[in-house]
Amino acid sequence: MSVIQFLHAMPSYQKIIIVAVILFSTFSAEAQQKDTVRVMTYNLMYYRETTSFCTNSNNNASTKDNAMEDIFDYALPDIFVVQEMGGGSSVNAFRILQNAINRNGRTNYTQANSSGIGQSLVNMLYYNTDKFVLESQAIYDKELNNTNFVRMIDHYTLRYKDSNLAVHQDTTRINVLVGHFKAGSTSADRAQRARTTESVMASLDSLNATGNYLFAGDFNLYSSTEPAYQDLINYVDPTLRFYDPINVPGNWSNSAVRAFTHTQSTRTSGGCFAGGGMDDRFDFILASDEVINNTDKMRYIPNTYQAVGQDGNRFNGSIISPTNNSVPTVVSQALYNMSDHLPVIMDIEVTLPSITSLREVTKLEKLKFQNPNTGNLLIDLSNQTHTIKTIEILDVTGKVVLEKVLNSERYVQFDVSNFSRGTYFIRVTSTSYQQIVEKLIKI
């Protein structure tokens, strides 16, 4: 008997009960909607950057593009961050998007704005536009003593694309920091890495950075006792600490018992490629407490953190010899051809906010401020019915140049007198994550 026949045969009051159960079940399924997103970090090893030891012969760009295409086909990350991108031109970042990522039917990936143009090696973010919107990006480039970092740290803020956002007004965001710390095993190298992490953590502290955070990249760490690592996992404010999803303390370098953590090097010898075989854990994805303990709608899925192609049998050996059965042969060969590092991946479960009732959506009111403005920017919030959480000033690239966290203030003042003439944007966010963005003209 079909469901329709079954319903026709029932008394009316029973039909109502059955239909109600079906509707409630459908609604509950919608309210508990979940998704899985994959994050991947990868040091691309002088991608499109030519040096005396990395040439077009031993580090050919076309060979690397083909290899990256095979790796991306296999891993399919939704958030993909890279290091050692040639920084001489923004074209380099576009090449890998065009030649490796948006291939084989994919057209849904895009990249962040290029930062550090003119530097030899930079970071970049690529992301799945079906799932995410890039809301903002910023950089950290100074130690606490105002000395330049060896390489800047990029900070990207992504918003998960939720079709029901207008109803529940509960935005799901993830912040991704990408770094490539100073290489080397000397005490001076370790100290420089520590100064980098000290500065980044102090910057996050000043922002009161709560929520979903990842810190990914090539950290060039040799041991969990290094000050840089301790800065991240044991920061003085416990609410800002990062956590290592696999939590394998000790000396990672040249350790046979920790071979499963190693991400460098894919070859035993080779010119541009670092030699010596797999014997160091340089590449990491660390996560905030909110991600580890699922307190802000994003949860690290246990046992998904791994170095792609690392089967634990590579100690001081090549990624392709002996035969690597952890990935298809085409992938292990691509890892060998692409870089002297392995990519690291982890999966995160996104739980979309429950829709328990349909609420009337009330928007933020239009902002009151003098526009154009010469320098004294006073924003009047007295007409807002919602409690305002933050006010940010952004430049045309989306970089946050000024920010204030509010505590029920109705008037907020910014000094923009030192801003260059041009267009900026004011972004106001309420405690229920409603936003309004308005243009500001500085004259």
Contact criterion met (CB below 8 Å) for 265 and 321: no
Between 30 and 97, the higher pLDDT residue: 97
- Decide which of 432 and 311 is more confident: 311
Distances (CA, A) of 274 to 219, 238, 271, 396, 409: 16, 37, 7, 40, 55
Q: Which CATH number is 376-442 given?
A: 2.60.40.3080
Kindly tell me if the per-residue pLDDT of 202 is higher than 80: yes
Over 80: is that where the pLDDT of 433 sits?
no
- How many Å apart are CA 55 and CA 57, to the nearest integer? 5
Contact 125, 80 (CB under 8 A): yes
Global confidence as pTM: 0.76
The pLDDT of residue 9 is above 60:
no
Give DSSP secondary structure letters for 72-96.
Answer: HHHH--SEEEEEEEE-S-THHHHHH
Instruction: Tell me if 137 sits within 8 A of 399, measured CB to CB.
Output: yes
- Token pair of 14, please? 């029973």
Distance, CA of 87 to CA of 82 (rounded, Å): 12
- Asked whether 215 and 232 are in contact (CB, 8 A), the reply is yes
- 373 vs 187, 403, 421, CA distance in Å? 50, 17, 10
| Cα torsion through 351, 355, 361, 367, rounded to 10 | -20
Please tell me the distance from the alpha carbon of residue 40 to that of residue 345, in angstroms, as a whole number: 4
What would the pLDDT profile of 51-108 be if each residue is shown by its tens digit? 999 999 999 999 999 999 999 999 999 999 999 999 878 899 999 999 999 999 999 9
Give per-residue pLDDT as tens, 120-129: 899 999 999 9
Instruction: Give the confidence band of 378 by pLDDT, cuts at 50, 70, 90.
Output: very high
Decide: helix, strand or coil at residue 440.
strand
pLDDT at 355 over 90: no
Residue 362: per-residue pLDDT: 56
User: Is residue 274 a contact partner of residue 218, using CB atoms and an 8 Å limit?
Assistant: no
Q: What is the mean pLDDT of residues 366-370?
A: 88
Superfamily the domain 34-351 falls into: Endonuclease/exonuclease/phosphatase (3.60.10.10)
Ranking 183-187, 263-267, 425-429 by mean pLDDT, the lowest is: 425-429
